[in-house]
């Protein structure tokens, strides 16, 4: 077996932070990123509703964004319907 260092015995990683501090930071970053994706998805869905696309196209894009939030958003940014109903 390998030698356990003082930092490992103290529950700290090589950066000097405890494991719990690292987990909390990861959760905070993940939570902020998730919130930003949620806001962008809502924005995309609103834009799809307001577009001049047919009902079937609107349903397709909304379902895609709801099922695959990040990939659906990226796909909508590249190829999705935009623009206001005139």
Note the pLDDT of residue 28: 74
The domain limits of the chain are 6-79
What's the confidence (pLDDT) of residue 15? 58
The confidence band for 4, taking pLDDT boundaries of 50, 70 and 90, is low
Q: Is the pLDDT of residue 86 over 60?
A: no
* pTM for this prediction: 0.67
Q: Which residue has the higher pLDDT, 13 or 46?
A: 46
Q: Which residues contact 52 (CB under 8 A, 6 or more apart)?
A: 81, 83, 84, 85, 86
């Amino acid at each position: 077996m390998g030698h356990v260092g003082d930092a490992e015995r103290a529950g700290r990683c090589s950066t000097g932070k405890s494991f719990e501090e690292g987990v909390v930071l990861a959760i905070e970053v993940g939570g902020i990123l998730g919130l930003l994706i949620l806001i962008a998805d809502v924005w995309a869905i609103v834009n799809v509703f307001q577009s001049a696309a047919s009902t079937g196209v609107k349903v397709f894009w909304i379902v895609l964004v709801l099922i695959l939030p990040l990939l659906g958003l990226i796909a909508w940014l590249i190829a999705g319907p935009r623009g206001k109903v005139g």
